[in-house]
Amino acid sequence: MSQHSRRPIAMLAALHDLALDMVASPPPPILLIILGPLILPLILLELWHRTSRTAVAKSQASYTRIHELGVITLGDYCTVSGLTQYVDRNGKRARVVGRDAKKGLWHVIIDGEAQAQDSPSKNGKVALRPENLVPDVPCLQPATVLSARIRRGELTSRALTELCVQQLLRADESLNALTARRFEDALKEADAADAAVAAGRAPPVSIAPLWGVPILVKECFEIAGLPFTAGVASLTGRVGLTTAPSMTRLAEAGLPILGSTNVSEACMFHEAANPSRRWSSNSSPLRLRGQLSSLPTIS
């Protein structure tokens, strides 16, 4: 880069530094009048960036509090994940025995490590961050893991479906995500999935990798008897007359359908909002207003 081409960049950097100084300590009014037209856009840009960073930091702190206080509690059993220093501990179960509120850490005892030499205390306690602990709650486990448990008989599709229904009833009042509920039909489909497993008639994993795992589908897919408007106001009140082939394939793959969820108007935008159903909030604090994707399980 030539010396002449560096000058505009250096000038912009100098103006940016001056804008930062003016934000930190406002200059005399006369100087502000003289430099205002040149510096004001940069000041506004810097204020916007600072506001954005503050909002993200607050959202992240909110997510941490929700994760720590709302999901993990003393006495819980969790699965250890995401450790880089001790890779061999990933996937092991651990019991939560204490919490360091100041450091944001949980004290756990990892199964089989009561006498671990690398533990910070003689009783085998290990301090881990909440993101390294996955509670043994079905709704927080991967769909493939849940399906494998159903196939092995460790969990029934009906029990998982009932748990998801409870979660939906608890959360949807604030999320406004559901456009239709078919809980009774989903429970019947879950019973059928369990019966197939018991009789050895469940398709192989290569064909039905999520057998028995309940799901939600977007309202833009046609299901007989359910709303089918794709978020278009002029289609309010329209219901599906038949069931789309893709939805039939889901049923054949053993996935109970709990209901349909909101979409953007005509499915043209990224947020789940339309004139008839209005906003759907996202369950993640980092995206307070955004599309709530149809998840294999409700978390």
pLDDT tens digits for range 31-77: 666 666 766 676 666 666 655 555 555 544 444 443 443 457 788 78
Instruction: List the one residue out of 298, 210, 202 whose CA is nearest residue 259.
Output: 298
Q: Is residue 197 part of a domain?
A: yes
In-domain check, residue 273: yes
Residue 106: give its domain's CATH number: 2.30.30
Asked whether residue 117 falls in the same domain as residue 230, the answer is no
Same domain, 199 and 59: no
State the residue for tokens 């980092």: 286
Task: Let me know if residue 293 belongs to a domain.
Answer: no
- Does residue 166 sit in the same domain as residue 191? yes
- The b/e string for 213-238 (b: 16+ C-beta within 10 A; e otherwise) is bbbbbbbbbbbeebbbbbbbeeeeee
165-181 pLDDT, tens digit per residue, is: 988 888 787 778 888 99
pTM value is: 0.57
Q: Judge if 279 and 250 occupy the same domain.
A: yes
Task: Quote the number of domains for the chain.
Answer: 3
Phi and psi angles of residue 211, each rounded to the nearest 5 degrees, phi first = -55, 125
- In this structure, the answer to whether residues 172 and 54 fall within a common structural domain is no
Nearest to 180 by CA among 238, 237, 259: 259
Asked whether 239 and 226 are in contact (CB, 8 A), the reply is: yes
User: CB atoms < 10 A from the CB of 208, how many?
Assistant: 20
Same domain assignment for residues 194 and 275: yes
CA dihedral (67, 70, 75, 77) positive or negative: negative
Note whether residue 63 is domain-resident.
yes
Are 144 and 272 part of one and the same domain?
Answer: yes
Residue 79 contacts residue 134 (beta carbons within 8 Å): yes
Q: Are residues 55 and 92 in the same domain?
A: no
Domain region containing 257: 138-287
Alpha carbons 296 and 237: distance in angstroms, whole number: 27
Residue 40 falls inside a structural domain: yes
d(CA 111, CA 253): 36
Amino acid in position 53: R
pLDDT exceeds 50 at position 121: no
Residue 235: strand, helix, or coil:
helix
DSSP state letter for 204: P
The reply to whether 190 and 91 lie within a common domain is no
| Cβ count within 10 A of residue 168 | 20
For residues 282 and 171, membership in a common domain is answered with: yes
In a domain, 296, yes or no: no
pLDDT in tens, 190-211: 999 999 999 999 999 999 999 9
Residue 105 pLDDT grade (very low, low, confident, very high; cuts 50, 70, 90): confident
* 297, part of any domain: no
Confidence (pLDDT) at 36: 63
Instruction: Kindly state whether residues 92 and 231 are assigned to the same domain.
Output: no
Percent above pLDDT 90 for the chain: 26
Is the same domain home to 186 and 201?
yes
The answer to whether residue 118 scores a pLDDT higher than 60 is no
Is 44 inside any structural domain?
A: yes
Instruction: Tell me the C-alpha distance between 279 and 290, whole Å.
Output: 8
Look up residue 109 and give its two tokens.
Answer: 């005892």
Q: In the chain, pLDDT over 70 holds for what percent of residues?
A: 65
